Amino acid sequence: MSADRKSGFTLIEIMLVVIIIGVLAAMVVPNIAGRSEQARATAAQTDIEANLSTALDLFYMDNSRYPTTEQGLASLLEKPSSGVALTGWKGPYLKKRRTPRDPWGREYVYKSPGEKNRDSYDLSSLGADGVASEDDVTNWAPVK
């Protein structure tokens, strides 16, 4: 080798690296692509089963009943002025001081007394499509 030769990568070496990166991306991207909707559904399920459920149970403990459908989830943030008077309200029951929204940006659907859970409440998210369908996330077991 002569002293004049400069060191660096050859075109073949660069192309080989680009091909390897392309193959790796082709294997990884399809596995990640479908996960965003699954992650949103999981976040909604967590909200329904843990966060909102705990807040509603605290409301129940203080008031001996769940908020009415009319009072809704807003009653977890500020004392309702309509409906049955609440003497035991000790809220706010949610850490975040705003009306809860599902991961798709829509309000959760709350009914009390519930149609599915007659002794408590129905709480659900309409899912990605925003209408009642198979992708809904609920606090009751799906009918199969």
* CATH code where residue 93 lies: 3.30.700.10
5 in a structural domain: no
109 in a structural domain: yes
3 in a structural domain: no
4 in a structural domain: no
The total number of structural domains in the chain stands at 1
pLDDT of residue 109: 95
Q: Is 88 in contact with 63 (CB distance < 8 Å)?
A: yes
Q: Is 125 in contact with 44 (CB distance < 8 Å)?
A: yes
* CA 83/CA 71 separation, integer angstroms: 7
16 in a structural domain: no
pLDDT of residue 126: 93
Task: Give the residues across from 123 on adjacent strands.
Answer: 110
120 in a structural domain: yes
31 in a structural domain: no
pLDDT of residue 54: 92
pTM (predicted TM-score): 0.73
pLDDT of residue 91: 82
Which residue range(s) make up the domain with 104? 38-138
144 in a structural domain: no
* CA 14/CA 108 separation, integer angstroms: 52
| Half-sphere exposure (Cβ direction) of 109: Cα atoms closer than 13 Å | 16
Per-residue model confidence as pLDDT tens for the chain (144 residues)? 555 667 788 888 888 888 888 888 887 777 676 678 888 899 999 999 989 999 999 999 999 999 999 999 999 999 988 767 778 899 899 988 888 899 999 999 999 999 999 999 999 999 888 888 888 999 997 644
* 18 burial level (CB within 10 Å; 0-12, 13-18, 19+): exposed
* CA 5/CA 72 separation, integer angstroms: 77
pLDDT of residue 39: 87
Alpha carbon 142 to chain centroid, angstroms: 18
pLDDT of residue 52: 93
